[in-house]
């Protein structure tokens, strides 16, 4: 797992973008469990200071 407190804002934004793209792909493939997992990870990243 990544050490979130050591990420720069740009690094965090890049990870969020990658996870969002993966979430959209999973949803299109009807893999809703994976999409929900990615959604939760994105939310966690966004809530970090």
Q: Is the pLDDT of residue 1 over 70?
A: no
The reported pLDDT for the residue numbered 41 is 94
Q: Is the pLDDT of residue 2 over 80?
A: no
pLDDT tens across 4-45, in order?
778 888 999 999 999 999 999 999 999 999 999 999 999 999
Domain assignments of the chain as residue spans, ordered by start: 9-47
The answer to whether the beta carbons of residues 2 and 35 sit under 8 Å apart is no
Query: pTM to 2 decimals?
Result: 0.84
Q: Is the pLDDT of residue 48 over 90?
A: no
Alpha helices by DSSP H, listed for 1-49, are 9-28, 32-47
């Amino acid at each position: 797992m990544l050490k979130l407190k050591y990420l720069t804002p740009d690094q965090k934004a890049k990870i969020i973008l990658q996870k969002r793209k993966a979430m959209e792909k999973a949803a299109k493939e009807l893999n809703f469990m994976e999409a929900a997992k990615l959604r939760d990870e994105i939310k966690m990243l966004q809530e970090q200071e």
